[in-house]
Amino acid sequence: MADSRDPIVRALQKYTTNGGFLSGLTMWSPLRQDGNTKIVGPAYTVKYVPLDDPAPKHPTHYIDHVPEGAVVFVSCPPRIPNAVYGGLMSTRAKALGAVGSVIDGRFRDVQEQRDLAYPVKHLPPCLIVFARDVGTAPPAELLKVAAVNVPVKLQTDEQDMEIRPGDYLIADINGVVVLPVELAEKALPLMQKQVEADEKMAAEIKKGMSFVEATRALVFHIEIAEDSDSALASHTM
Residue 89 assigned ligand-binding role:
yes
* Neighbour count for residue 2 (Cβ, 10 Å): 9
pLDDT (tens digit per residue) in 184-230: 777 767 766 777 777 888 888 899 888 888 877 776 443 443 444 44
Q: Which CATH number fits domain 19-180: 3.50.30.40, 3.50.50.60, 3.60.70.12, 3.10.129.10?
A: 3.50.30.40
The answer to whether 25 and 130 are in contact (CB under 8 A) is: yes
State residue 219's pLDDT score. 60
State residue 216's pLDDT score. 76
Torsion of CA 5, 8, 14, 19, to 10 degrees: -40
State residue 121's pLDDT score. 47
Mean pLDDT (whole number) for 145-168: 94
Look at the alpha carbons of 113, 133, 96, 143 in this order and tell me if their dihedral is positive or negative: positive
Residue 100 assigned ligand-binding role:
no
Q: Which amino acid is at 159?
A: Q
β-pair partners for 101: 72, 129
pLDDT (tens digit per residue) in 67-88: 999 999 999 999 999 999 999 9
17 pLDDT more than 90: no
State residue 19's pLDDT score. 80
Counting residues of the chain whose pLDDT is more than 70, the rounded percentage is 78
Confidence of residue 155 (pLDDT cuts 50, 70, 90): very high
d(CA 19, CA 12): 5
166 pLDDT more than 90: yes
Cβ contacts of 163 within 8 Å, gap of 6 or more: 22, 43, 45, 73, 75, 151, 152, 153, 154, 169, 178
**CA nearest neighbour of 75 among 149, 174, 141:** 149
> Lowest-pLDDT range, 98-107, 149-158, 184-193, 214-223?
214-223
Residue 109 assigned ligand-binding role:
yes
Global pTM reads: 0.80
